[in-house]
A and B are shown apart, each in its own frame.
Chain A
Amino acid sequence: MKRIKRTLSVILIVALLLTTLSASAFAVDTVQIEFTVPKVGDTMHKNGDTFTANEEVTCTVQAVYTGDEIKKITDALFETKYDVLKTYANSTYSPSEYYLGQFYLIILRLTGAISSATTVSSWNVFPTGENSDQPMYVYQIFTPTADSNSDDGDSGSSGGESNNTSSPDPTTSSKDVRVSYKAEKTQEVVSVEVSWGEMKFTYSPATEGTWDPATHEYENSQNAKWSYSGNTITVVSHSNVPLNATLTYTPTDGFDHITGKFLKEDNEDNAEIPENTMTIPTAVGTSVENPPTATAYLILDGALDKNTAYETVSGKVTITIK
């Protein structure tokens, strides 16, 4: 028994440890910045180093992302798979931090968050104090300026655009005219008017009729029935897209035995609207005075208790436009 208890205790402790470790795997690393972070629009000059391009690069900062922000982007992309991604980068081994940064760069390019012309550089920062032997990394993303992209590699050249292939004429200047075709997506605008009647329904229970002493029979007996005033629902569309209007009658508490259905015409013998859905065509090609319109007629079924208070709300109508 003692051995069982001991074994169970070990299992529980291990389970707790695993839970804690897995929770900490999703914790966001905090990077303390020891130097001044450049702002968007700043010009930066970077010498070549062993991790990135060997050539000098002069760039304009387009965006500055911290490790936390990059992680948010990748988290959104990979969701629960992030723990798998982390196995490809051991955050405790310095060179791997660079590759993790490159990986983030690829993700950002694929998602279109940055253009393909950007590059990322890992800046090694060695703090002072207790952890001075542990480098910290800040990844900065920037787009090379036109000067640093010039073919002769002279970042100090002046005048002329990087896309010009000929030497500038001192007496004339030229500028390429670029044209592009871009079709704006036609936005769907839905414009509807929905009107309804007073929605008053009266239930008349079955009656035996009037006793006729001459015949010893009841005359003019009636079945239970519902009568109504204002049972219409009309949907008018001024939209540039076709619409479906689905009508739903939902009984309120205590009136579950009262059901509602929607008919095409005000005649109880008429057919119900299929799936309680009216199709309204687009208003394109129609006049404002005669827009596409659809009308439904609500009728109720079921017996109403005689003790029901006058004009009690028995249900609600929901109109779903799609």
Chain B
Amino acid sequence: MRTITKLIVAVAAAVILILAGVLIVWKMVESKPLLPDRAPPDIEKNAVIDNTDSEKMDVPPDGGGASFNYAKEISIDLSTGTAELYFENCGSALYDASLILVIDDTVILESGLLPLGSRLTALSFPKDSLPLQRGGYDAALWVQSYDEAGNALDVNFQLQGIRVEVK
């Protein structure tokens, strides 16, 4: 009887461990960040292009240059599907750019292409579709620049210290 009891307990424990393992793997796969190199996205529909006449910044010969203005606070409203932020791809820079909002290595939001001289104050997403809850998060904005041919540059940017408030 003792042997049988031990066997039953062992099997039950194995089942529980297997279920827990499946759950853990499932969660890991769910939060896997997606940061592939890829072709530039379409122009962001929320981008306002109103500063294209700026004098270009000085760069070394055959070099490159990027210029950003951004606010470190982002507000996300899950119920309306709107993220309020401020990011400007200055007209003095040389490349178009795109944004990725990352929290704990998880891609939360991605923008479309932000042409030179454009600014972004809002991003839209399907309501209640983000893996976030009400509260504050530390985040980063990853900026990818693209040359005129649409190729992603080998110089990219991570803007840390972004504070996201979710409501």
Q: Which residues of A does B touch, CB under 8 Å?
A: 3-4, 7-8, 11-12, 15, 73, 76-77, 79, 187-199, 230, 232, 313, 315-322
Contacts and interface: CB of A to CB of B under 8 A. Distances in A.
Nearest to B8: A7
B160 interface: yes
- Per DSSP, chain B at the interface is mixed
Q: Chain B interface residue count: which class?
A: 35 or more
Interface of B: 4, 7-8, 11-12, 15-16, 57-73, 90, 92-93, 133-135, 154-161
A19 B108 CA distance: 30
Given A76-B134, A190-B72, A230-B61, A321 B15 contact: no
A194 B66 contact: yes
A315 B68 contact: no
A195 B65 contact: yes
Given A315-B154, A317-B154, A318-B156, A196 B15 contact: no
B65 A193 contact: yes
B67 A189 contact: no
Contacts of A317: 154-156
A272 B1 CA distance: 70
A322 B71 CA distance: 12
A321 B157 contact: yes
A320 B133 contact: no
Contact of B63 (A4, A8, A15, A198): A198
A141 to B, nearest CB: 17
A193 B155 contact: no
Given A190-B70, A195-B59, A198-B63, A322 B157 contact: no
